[in-house]
Structure 1
């Protein structure tokens, strides 16, 4: 599985931990930055990861900022992205099963490193259930199409 990963300065440490963890598990990872704790703007990384996932260059994406809030909001502006801010394993599983999330966001200042790795492993190990949930995804896509041409 190919994973796009990115963070701003507030998520740099956790992004590096997740990247190493996934590389050790054999995942193909591309780091879209940032490469230090120097101040950066999270929308830049959200956009890069989001566009790469929507273009199907990567199977899924992982984003990290201080809280996960800003970077998830920015990612969801890219048409086709379904980014979920996740802080627990139950939500990580549900957002794949029910929402077919193609990107998750985590907050380095909110989620500890051990839990973050469990969340990532749970999310990557869970598949979309389809069925009745596909109808809801289709409705989300309809909303997106209506407003993407503004």
Structure 2
């Protein structure tokens, strides 16, 4: 399971599943937090990706939520200094790409709006869309307040 951990420089934390050796690093944001660049890191290398961030109203509760959608997976813009090191990732097939995207979904949910997904004020505060399905922390067995 993922959790938020400090990095060596203590500047920007990362989301980590240390047991699986997978880490999510937030790299840069676009205009007014509408797009963001992340890198999923594992022993097999890095996978850069870009998301959009939308604010939606949850139909079940009426609460405002943040919804991430993938814009690109396996590539991301490298114009900013924190993203210059990125290398595009090619996948063997769609199954491999979907496998890694599902891991990225879980990591994004723990990331939340700014490394706060597990401390969200209510369920479904952060959501991620993948293949037309909306995922929440509960889909991966997490509970709010979990450390």
**How does the TM-score come out when normalised to structure 2?**
0.29
Structure number having the greater strand percentage:
2
**How does the TM-score come out when normalised to structure 1?**
0.28
